[in-house]
């Protein structure tokens, strides 16, 4: 039963969203009810949402999340209502929704690590920061069921209510479809190269897996001034696209990349290898470690299997060559600082965004979008509302 009585009280509205009811299921595009914004929240009408691989992990069960969940964690749109106490944005403002909030006050934000903000800790558990739900749908048996929001966002919806800590106000006039990709993929990939891998002018880099995230790690490595950027992907189309985004060389496998990078650097090997494959596999760690030379960094941006806790690697190489393995969340980026800067870099012709979108879909076609991802057809698929 829809709770008509609460509708007026919480300013409920109806909208359409793609809901995943169980692991292994399909995205169900259905009419849902959405509460109005509570304290510290904003209602956003979406223009576009990117199709990131992390939502696919909800389907495969690799990422532990609560079900049911409205998917989607990179998007852009306009604020149409603000909740009590919101002063950072106003009705009508164009915003990017980022997959991690940053509060600015927790110990991690305070240390300059906003991608590790404590408010992001429960981002895949479903409810909003106050523990209550904004989306409600007709569950099995026709009951009114609370529905979670992927990364507190749920951008696979025409409208959503999100924490103001998860939005970045952007300049009026910037194309919102392109801005949507900066909510996760662009910033994560770029930051993985520039921040997490700490690439510098003249360095050599290998990006393993050049889909939505890796393509932006390639752009980051180019902007950082790397002399060699080797893009690794088994899919020829992805390798071709990587060359247009700044890769200097390509390889179809990590083994092939070792031959390329070893030859190019006269055996010194890469300064960093950034793992951006669809799923991080423990078995890829040692081959990735062998791609980097002395003081080389292996950056693990791809998400691994939830249950996997084994990876074999040479401890001797770690010690004797001072190699490092680093995890990277959101490319160690700071949304309020990096999102506007990346958009400006696009305006200056230094960062490609339009070229990342291989194909557009309607919300109703979200499952087709993910089939295309699995088949390796897209750098990034985009839902346009």
Ligand X SMILES: NC(=O)c1ccc[n+]([C@@H]2O[C@H](COP(=O)([O-])OP(=O)(O)OC[C@H]3O[C@@H](n4cnc5c(N)ncnc54)[C@H](O)[C@@H]3O)[C@@H](O)[C@H]2O)c1
Site residues, ligand X (CB under 6 A): 52-54, 57, 184, 188, 208-214, 232-235, 238, 276-279, 301-303, 328-330, 373, 376
Q: What's the min distance (Å) between Cβ of 336 and Zn ion?
A: 12
d(CA 142, CA 134): 18
Closer residue to ligand X (CB): 172 or 307: 307
Q: Where are the alpha helices (DSSP H) in the chain?
A: 4-10, 53-60, 107-110, 176-180, 185-191, 214-224, 236-245, 254-264, 285-291, 315-320, 335-347, 366-374
Q: What's the min distance (Å) between Cβ of 280 and ligand X?
A: 6
Helices and strands counted in the chain (H then E): 12, 18
Number of residues near Zn ion (by CB under 5 A): 7
Closer residue to ligand X (CB): 134 or 239: 239
Nearest residue to ligand X, scored by beta-carbon proximity: 211
Q: What's the min distance (Å) between Cβ of 303 and ligand X?
A: 4
Q: What's the min distance (Å) between Cβ of 50 and ligand X?
A: 8
Among 32, 58, 59, 109, binds Zn ion (CB under 5 A): 109
**Helix, strand, coil fractions of the chain, as percent rounded to 5:** 35, 25, 40
User: Binds 103, which of Zn ion, ligand X, none (CB < 5 to 8 A, cut-off by type)?
Assistant: Zn ion
Closer residue to ligand X (CB): 329 or 342: 329
Among 10, 13, 66, 106, binds Zn ion (CB under 5 A): 106
Q: What's the min distance (Å) between Cβ of 202 and Zn ion?
A: 30
User: Binds 330, which of Zn ion, ligand X, none (CB < 5 to 8 A, cut-off by type)?
Assistant: ligand X
Q: What's the min distance (Å) between Cβ of 195 and Zn ion?
A: 16
User: Binds 234, which of Zn ion, ligand X, none (CB < 5 to 8 A, cut-off by type)?
Assistant: ligand X
Q: What's the min distance (Å) between Cβ of 104 and Zn ion?
A: 6
Instruction: Give Cα separations from 329 to 42, 72, 100, 114, 339 (angstroms).
Output: 24, 17, 9, 10, 15
Residues 6+ apart with CB under 8 A from 141: none
Asked if residues 31 and 13 have their Cβ atoms less than 8 Å apart, the reply is no
Taking each helix axis as running N to C, give the angle between helix 53-60 and helix 366-374, from 0 to 180 degrees, rounded to the nearest 10.
90
- Contact flag: residue 279 with Zn ion (CB under 5 A): no
Residue 277 in tokens:
């494959």
d(CA 377, CA 211): 10
Residues 6+ apart with CB under 8 A from 317: 289, 290, 323
Residue 140 in tokens:
């099995």
Q: What's the min distance (Å) between Cβ of 165 and ligand X?
A: 17
Find the binding residues for Zn ion in span 34-93 (CB under 5 A).
Answer: 52, 54
Find the binding residues for Zn ion in span 113-142 (CB under 5 A).
Answer: 117
User: Binds 125, which of Zn ion, ligand X, none (CB < 5 to 8 A, cut-off by type)?
Assistant: none
User: Binds 106, which of Zn ion, ligand X, none (CB < 5 to 8 A, cut-off by type)?
Assistant: Zn ion
Closer residue to Zn ion (CB): 99 or 228: 99
User: Binds 381, which of Zn ion, ligand X, none (CB < 5 to 8 A, cut-off by type)?
Assistant: none
For 258-286, b/e burial (b = at least 16 CB within 10 A) is bebbbebbeeebbbbbbbbbbbbeeebbe
User: Binds 302, which of Zn ion, ligand X, none (CB < 5 to 8 A, cut-off by type)?
Assistant: ligand X
For 212-234, b/e burial (b = at least 16 CB within 10 A) is bbbbbbbbbbbbbebebbbbbbe
Letters for 168-207 (x = contact with Zn ion by CB under 5 A, - = none) are ----------------x-----------------------
Closer residue to Zn ion (CB): 37 or 71: 71
Neighbours of 173 (CB within 10 A): 8
Q: What's the min distance (Å) between Cβ of 155 and ligand X?
A: 13
Sheet of 292-300, strands arranged across: 249-251, 228-232, 204-208, 270-275, 292-300, 324-327
Closer residue to ligand X (CB): 136 or 239: 239
From 70, 85, 7, select the one nearest 383 (Cα to Cα).
Answer: 70
Contacting positions for Zn ion (CB under 5 A): 52, 54, 103, 106, 109, 117, 184
């Amino acid at each position: 039963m829809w709770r008509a009585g609460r509708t007026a009280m919480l300013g409920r509205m109806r909208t359409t969203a793609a809901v995943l009811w169980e692991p292994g299921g399909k995205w169900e595009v259905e009419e849902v009810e959405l509460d109005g914004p509570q304290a510290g929240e904003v209602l956003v009408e979406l223009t576009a949402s990117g199709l990131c691989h992390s939502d696919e992990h909800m389907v495969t069960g690799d990422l532990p999340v609560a079900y049911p969940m409205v998917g989607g964690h990179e998007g852009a749109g306009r604020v149409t209502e603000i909740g009590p106490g919101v002063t950072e944005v106003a009705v009508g403002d164009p915003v990017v929704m980022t997959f991690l909030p940053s509060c600015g006050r927790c110990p991690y934000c305070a240390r300059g690590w906003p991608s590790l903000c404590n408010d992001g800790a429960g981002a895949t558990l479903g409810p909003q920061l106050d523990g209550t739900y904004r989306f409600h749908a007709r569950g099995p048996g026709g009951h009114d069921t609370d529905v979670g929001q992927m990364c507190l966002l749920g951008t696979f919806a025409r409208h959503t209510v999100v924490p103001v800590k998860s939005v970045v106000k952007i300049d009026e006039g910037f194309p919102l479809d392109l801005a949507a990709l900066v909510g996760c993929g662009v910033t994560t990939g770029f930051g993985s190269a520039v921040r997490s891998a700490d690439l510098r002018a003249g360095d050599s880099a290998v990006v393993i897996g050049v889909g939505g995230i890796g393509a932006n790690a390639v752009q980051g490595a180019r902007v950082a001034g790397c002399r060699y950027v080797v893009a690794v992907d088994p899919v020829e189309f992805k390798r071709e696209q990587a060359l247009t985004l700044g890769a200097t060389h390509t390889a179809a496998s990590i083994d092939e990349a070792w031959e390329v990078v070893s030859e190019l650097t006269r055996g010194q090997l890469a300064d960093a290898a950034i793992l951006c494959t669809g799923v991080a596999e423990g078995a890829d760690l040692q081959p990735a470690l062998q791609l980097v030379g002395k003081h080389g960094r292996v950056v693990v941006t791809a998400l691994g299997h939830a249950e996997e806790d084994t990876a074999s690697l040479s401890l001797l190489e770690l010690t004797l060559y001072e190699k490092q393995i680093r995890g990277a969340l959101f490319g160690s980026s700071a949304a309020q600082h990096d999102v506007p800067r990346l958009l400006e870099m696009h305006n200056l012709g230094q960062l490609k965004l339009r070229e990342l979108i291989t194909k557009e879909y309607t919300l109703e076609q979200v499952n087709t979008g993910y089939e295309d991802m699995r088949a390796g057809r897209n750098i990034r698929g985009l839902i346009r509302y």
